[in-house]
Structure 1
């Protein structure tokens, strides 16, 4: 069956869309190699089942690499693939805009905090 997209962004959202994939990808972009447990700690509101599902989908699409070490106990790490690294500017822009948005919310007196700040210095409320 042929996939049809009406605009390029549809293809992008098809691969990295949803609540969790951009978050996972930003963590991998910022931190490099990460184990599943480190990703789970970095994203405390994601369930283990959802994290595993999202990682499998990203691996299937060639966006991340799953590295399995032959040792006991087993060790598995994830990283952006070379193909996934081409999303760098997109991911950075999403992170930057989100931080900008949080800053605007803070300035408007909304109760908001940002635990990880990459670009903008936002005081924690």
Structure 2
């Protein structure tokens, strides 16, 4: 994901080693684009759970 420009990786030269990851602006754009799909998936799982609990 770093190579694709989605995340920024920052390595700190401390002991124990510490690496911090954060989203790039491009990564945030992707997150916003996928949010509706994630919402749909949650609604779909709720429908499946309701169908399984129905007599």
TM-score of the two chains, using structure 2 as the length reference:
0.80
Greater RCO between the two (CA within 8 Å, min separation 6)?
2
Q: Which runs of 4+ in 1 moved over 6 A?
A: none
What is the count of residue pairs matched by the alignment?
Answer: 53
Coordinate RMSD, CA, aligned? 1.4
Q: CA deviation at 1:89?
A: 2.2
Question: Is 1:90 matched with 2:45?
Answer: no
Distance 1:94 1:78 in 2: 24
* Residue deviations 1:34-73 (CA, integer Å, cap 9, x gap): xxxxxxxxxxxxxxxxxxxxxxxx1001011111112111
Query: Which stretches in structure 1 are left out of the alignment for 5+ residues?
Result: 1-57, 111-125
Partner of 1:59: 2
Q: CA deviation at 1:77?
A: 1.8
Partner residue of 1:77 out of 12, 17, 20: 20
Distance 1:100 1:86 in 2: 23
Point out the structure with the larger strand share: 2
Question: Which structure: larger Rg?
Answer: 2
Query: Which stretches in structure 2 are left out of the alignment for 5+ residues?
Result: none
